[in-house]
Structure 1
Amino acid sequence: MNPYMQETENALVHTYNRFPVIFEKGEGVYLYDTEGNKYLDFAAGIAVCGLGYGNPELTAAVKEQTELLWHTSNLFYNASCGTAAEALKKASGMDRVFFTNSGTEANEGMLKAARKYAWKKKTGRYEFIAMEGSFHGRSMGALSVTEHEAYRTPFEPLIPGVKFAKFNDLDSVKALISDNTCAIILEPIQGEGGINMADPEFLKGIRKLCDEEGILLLFDEIQCGMGRTGQMFAWQYYGVKPDMMSMAKAIGSGVPVGAFAMTEDVAKDSLEPGDHGTTYGGNPLVCTAVAKTLEIFEKERLTEHVKEIGAYLEERLDELAASEDTVLERRGTGLIQGIRLTKPAGEVTARAMEEGLVIITARSDVIRFVPPMVITKEHVDEMIEKLKKSL
């Protein structure tokens, strides 16, 4: 074992389940550990490093900003924040953007904005409907709308007024709606829950219900957004626009940044100065990364690339499912894919590390593929060969 790793193991109480490797650098779609071993990365820091590692344009932009200004607090304007917000508005189709430090905080902001909207409208509504299989974060508010007993139980009682409907079951949503329903929150594609895709008719039906009942529709696009479906955001893939949406992970290509956005109709009747805040959110450094990331996405036409390479990944994973008895099915689209196994997925991901492949799980029986969005067909082929050995 690496001496530093041994020292770390001895010194720390575990709060994370980690692989026994210390990564030192990244290049393109490969990671390198402190022993010089090379790994093909099909996890991208859990769907974060969409541009891979060491992108020269992004590196140069962030480096230049570090030499100018890192932080001013949200008491002052900064130019890169405005540039990033305008770029996110254009990409997301929303009208207003609030920057946060993470995806969990973005979901917290959405929940607060939905409650404030109901308060300003004097509706008295406060309840949320979330989905079984969902994951929205581990803070108290985000955890309250996350349906995962192992995450929830030790921290109960959580925030009241949350009900869970069955994902892709519109009748179960209808059964939970009441005069107190403030908003419905869901992931168009559930990531942590097992790469579960929403049926188009399910999302359309929820949108119609929300419009008829005066309920806000909130999409969590932290993992499934930012190009992974072949559209910039998943709602565009489905053609169902939410009233608010959260995003994070790949919007900053690895710098810690999240955001939530909303339509003008919601914005004018929700948060006001003092309702919500963040010391670091929207600082010049992270917003430079967001703006440059979106610029590269557009210039390199990465969503078109995701459509092409995602179709090839689907093809190869379908072939694998047909030939391997341990693979039950493929799930997902574009570059957010999964395969469901007959064996514990954790065993396979551990074996894959030995083969020089980084993959991660989604629940106990699904392997998740959320690679950098700059991968090629050659990288897909290399991954499949390593995965076969790991299975």
Structure 2
Amino acid sequence: MDDMDSASVEQELAEPYLRAVLDTAGLAVEYVRAEGNTLHRRDEDGGLLPVVDFAGGYGSVLLGHNRPEIVRCAQELLAADTPVHAQFSRHPYANRLAGELNRIIRRELDTTEPYFAIFANTGAEAVEAAIKHAEMDRGMRLAVVLDEVAAHVEQTREALAAGTATLDHATFARPGLTAPAPGEDGFEALSAQIRARMEEHRAAPPLFLALEGGFHGKLGASVQLTHNHGYRLPFKGLGAQARFVPRDQPEALKAIHAEERRILLDTVVVNGRVEIVEREVPVFCAFLLEPIQGEGGIHVLSAEFAAEIQRFCAEIDCPVVIDEIQSGMGRTGALLASSHLGLRGDYYTLAKTLGGGIAKSSVMLVRQARYRQEFEIVHSSTFAKDSFSCHIALKVLELLEEDGGRAYHQAVERGDALRTMLESVRADFPDVVKEVRGKGLMLGMEFHDRSASPSPVIKSAADSGLFGYFLAGHLLHRHHVRTFPTASAVNTLRFEPSLLVTDAEIAQLERGLRDVCGILQEHAGDRLCPART
């Protein structure tokens, strides 16, 4: 054991509390093999027990676990000693990947404007890159406004000195301005107040907009844009702050803008008279949204609300960041789920299936009109843009696009089959299942609240905040089906299998769901499979 204390091996040191929570729900099992839409775990006799995977790596394995073509690509890359660490050099494979992503995006969005790529390792890191880039862009736009105001003030001063302009005392009647004291130079008093406001705006932190129910990661900045209060509150003091917009309430957009907009006063000379005009300064750094909210309960953004967001953001010059980390990469039948909505982003974030279930890879895309080349110098990531992950991603795109996009069609067809089954279960258990939502192979089934169940077991599960995890534990042990609830809406089970999911596997899930629904309907908590370690 290399002198390691054998006792220390037995102690759980890798997130022991989480292990205990998984134990409680019966989910602390070890998987030792994976292929296609199946994971294998050890049974009590040490043999392999197949489990149908409807969790799909939280959407990461659309093409299946250890897809042979991707595994072969990885093996060839490693056998060829492909460089993983060749930072700060030319990466033609990354450029090819960016080009291929652009080719597909041009087709889906019907646009010729290119998107520049910043590569990363995880979805949350891609979101962080988007946040940082958007703030750099906002800061540079703000600097332009402040420089223009400063120049206008100097031009006004020169006009007053030359006698070609006059300053009326009534100018100070504008709300927010203080009239000069007797004997004080009126323009100097005015310019001092303008300069003070300029410094206030320069120092003011950015504000983000995000949707209620949205999830954008748990890193220092991205967690502030994740709506779940439990994830955000412990880290509230760390980073960017957001205003959360209720879904399908376009009137809230104008209300938030009215509350948060910031105005800077500027001077102009009109017909020899100094006048004050208002300049709106960029306050909102970006609007982040998911076309389908994953962790928020599999809620699909409506096309109508998407159009309202697009119009609103264009009016106030606020970039739109579309988080396609869970919904993108073909899961809904297109590379970008948002393309179904007619929504166009200034930024996109892609991850999960981009790595083919093997590489850890993500990308942040910025359209040309928004791109700031200076960002490339101040942002970097050690493992990003490496040969291994880029070539794996290129293979993923090849598999999605081959045979006229057969994989996209397959995701739609398999998703329709899965949804038909889920809807049939809902129809037979309307008092148990509240709603089925989603698109393609990103579906969710929400259960009615069971906190009033006469069954102590079911009521306890509902009150624990782990309701969906207990149902998942039952499905795992009794029916050999793996799924989880969505993180911020634990009454909703997620179904994000690979496009290889078969009718037989869908039927296996159906049997499990009907069993669960019968237990809940009959308040038969004693039939719920007990937690196992």
Q: Distance in 1 between matches of 2:129 and 2:17?
A: 25
The structure with the largest helix share of the pair is: 2
* Corresponding residue number in structure 1 for 2:295: 192
Q: Distance in 2 between matches of 1:341 and 1:273?
A: 46
Change (3 A) 1:280 1:10: closer
Q: Distance in 2 between matches of 1:248 and 1:96?
A: 16
* Corresponding residue number in structure 2 for 1:330: 436
CA contact (8 A) 1:349 1:390 kept: no
Whether 1:98 aligns to 2:178 is no
Deviations 1:104-123 (A, max 9, x none): 00000001111111122235
CA-based RMSD of the aligned residues comes to 2.0
Amino acid paired to 1:39: V
Q: Structure 1 stretches (4+) deviating beyond 6 angstroms?
A: none
Whether 1:147 aligns to 2:227 is yes
Alignment of 1:124-203 (within 5 A): 126-177=206-257, 178-179=261-262, 180-203=283-306
Q: Distance in 2 between matches of 1:160 and 1:25?
A: 41
Q: Distance in 2 between matches of 1:386 and 1:203?
A: 36
* Corresponding residue number in structure 2 for 1:14: 16
Change (3 A) 1:262 1:382: same
* Corresponding residue number in structure 1 for 2:505: 379
Change (3 A) 1:271 1:102: farther
Q: Distance in 2 between matches of 1:8 and 1:207?
A: 54
* Corresponding residue number in structure 2 for 1:265: 369
Structure 1: stretches of 5+ with no match in the other structure: none
* Corresponding residue number in structure 2 for 1:45: 57
* Corresponding residue number in structure 2 for 1:31: 39
Q: Distance in 2 between matches of 1:333 and 1:359?
A: 17
SS of residue paired to 2:16: coil
Give, in angstroms, the shift of residue 11 of structure 1: 4.1
Amino acid paired to 2:37: V
CA contact (8 A) 1:117 1:270 kept: no
* Corresponding residue number in structure 1 for 2:416: 311
SS of residue paired to 1:39: strand
* Corresponding residue number in structure 1 for 2:523: none
SS of residue paired to 1:273: helix
SS of residue paired to 1:183: strand
Amino acid paired to 1:140: G
CA contact (8 A) 2:225 2:241 kept: no
Change (3 A) 1:57 1:381: same
Whether 1:249 aligns to 2:352 is yes
Amino acid paired to 2:327: C
Give, in angstroms, the shift of residue 97 of structure 1: 1.2
Amino acid paired to 2:379: H
Give, in angstroms, the shift of residue 147 of structure 1: 1.1
Change (3 A) 1:161 1:40: closer
Give, in angstroms, the shift of residue 232 of structure 1: 1.4
Whether 1:58 aligns to 2:58 is no
Whether 1:109 aligns to 2:158 is no
SS of residue paired to 2:364: strand
Identical amino acids, percent of aligned pairs: 26
Q: Distance in 2 between matches of 1:72 and 1:160?
A: 32
Change (3 A) 1:31 1:242: same
Deviations 1:187-222 (A, max 9, x none): 111100111111111011110111111110111110
Residue 209 (structure 1) aligned to one of 301, 312, 328? 312
CA contact (8 A) 1:74 1:278 kept: no
Amino acid paired to 1:339: M
Q: Distance in 1 between matches of 2:122 and 2:9?
A: 29
Change (3 A) 1:98 1:207: same
Deviations 1:313-346 (A, max 9, x none): 1111110101123211101111110011124222
Residue 370 (structure 1) aligned to one of 470, 476, 496? 496
SS of residue paired to 2:395: helix
Give, in angstroms, the shift of residue 294 of structure 1: 0.7
Deviations 1:235-281 (A, max 9, x none): 211111111011111111222111110111111x3643322111111
Q: Distance in 1 between matches of 2:377 and 2:70?
A: 33
SS of residue paired to 2:57: helix
Q: Distance in 2 between matches of 1:234 and 1:15?
A: 36
The range that moved more, 228-237 or 243-252, is: 228-237
Give, in angstroms, the shift of residue 160 of structure 1: 4.2
Q: Distance in 2 between matches of 1:153 and 1:272?
A: 29
Q: Distance in 2 between matches of 1:76 and 1:15?
A: 42
CA contact (8 A) 1:116 1:270 kept: no
Structure 2: stretches of 5+ with no match in the other structure: 1-5, 107-113, 146-201, 263-282, 451-466, 518-533
Residue 358 (structure 1) aligned to one of 458, 470, 482? 482
Q: Distance in 2 between matches of 1:288 and 1:380?
A: 33
Give, in angstroms, the shift of residue 8 of structure 1: 5.8
Q: Distance in 2 between matches of 1:192 and 1:241?
A: 22
Q: Distance in 1 between matches of 2:14 and 2:355?
A: 29
Deviations 1:132-170 (A, max 9, x none): 111111111101111111111222213244211112211
The two structures have a TM-score, normalised by structure 2, of 0.69
How many matched pairs?
Answer: 386
Q: Distance in 2 between matches of 1:175 and 1:283?
A: 45
Amino acid paired to 1:283: D
Give, in angstroms, the shift of residue 173 of structure 1: 2.0
Whether 1:348 aligns to 2:356 is no
Name which one, 1 or 2, has greater alpha-carbon Rg.
2
